[in-house]
Amino acid sequence: MNATGIHPVSSKEHMLDPTDIFAVASHEDKEAIQMCVPSAKKNHVSPERMLYSIMIKEYSDPRLIRVRAGNTLFTIAALPHRVGFVRGYNGDTAENYINNLIEFNYAARKLGFDVTVAHTSHDVVRALKVALKRHKVQGVKSHFDSSTKLAVITTGEPRGE
């Protein structure tokens, strides 16, 4: 995959390798790219390359739980009280990404999480809202804080400790 051929790929047509998902995600996440510019300049690499390296490093952390839905990879850091801090790496098309979010929410619930928390961008917030409208499971609620760019989503009705 070269830089001119990097674009989201429908998981219904082709499942990408994880490294290809990171390549797409590192070129699509404009907000994260901007955050990498100073460090990338200092290290004489492109911001996308810097972001790709960061994503690989994050995903490789053995303390994290990994979940795949379509061409989207997720990591979950388990926190107390059935809370998971989530990071997503998307290489899928927009419509499939919404379905992947729904599939991930089900998986997080099965893994024992009642609440997931994630840093988000405005684009992801919109996709989450669409996914939550489709996701009609009892007890699923969401809160988006635009000042901190955090999304908090319940995976269903709370369970006892």
pLDDT tens sequence across 90-131: 999 988 998 999 899 999 999 999 999 999 877 777 777 777
| Residue 149 in tokens | 């760019």
pLDDT tens per residue across span 26-36: 999 888 999 99
Domains in the chain, please, with CATH? 16-60 (no CATH), 62-161 (3.40.630)
- Coil/strand/helix, residue 156: coil
Q: Are 50 and 39 in contact (CB under 8 A)?
A: yes
Q: Enter the pTM of the model.
A: 0.89
pLDDT tens per residue across span 15-53: 999 999 999 999 998 889 999 999 999 999 999 999 999
- Pairing of β 115-119 and β 83-90: parallel
